[in-house]
Amino acid sequence: MSSVQIARYIISFSWLYHGILPKLIHIAPLEKLMTASLGLSESMSYLITKSAGVGEVIFAILLFVYYQSKVIIVLNIMALIGLLLFVVALQPQLLIEAFNPVTTNLPIIGLSLVLLNSLKAQPENNRR
């Protein structure tokens, strides 16, 4: 299996996992903490968390299918940076926890760069 396919699978799986398990199946305590820090009602926080989960699942599928799209890859990187900045601004104490956004987002950004680099090696007409 090529490094491009490994990157594709890991990035897609990460979005899928983080959308389904800690948001849709069971809202994880840290997810509740993050949305609560927005200062919204509990029902609105619940709705935002569930919506984010659906969005992450959709994005996982899009990225899996269109992994050769520069736009999708750049959106992925921007989303991961944005989510990391969200934690920095609202819950910076989470940055020192085990399995924190630094140790999850930065490697996925690195794998996204592998996908971007693979696009440079392809002729333009082979991309989606």
Which pTM was predicted? 0.91
Identify the pLDDT of residue 126: 60
* Cα 65 to Cα 3, 9, 20, 69, 110, distances in angstroms: 16, 10, 18, 9, 19
pLDDT in tens, the chain (128 residues): 999 999 999 999 999 999 999 999 999 999 999 999 999 999 999 999 999 999 999 999 999 999 999 999 999 999 999 999 999 999 999 999 998 999 999 999 999 999 999 999 887 656 55
26: which DSSP letter?
Answer: S
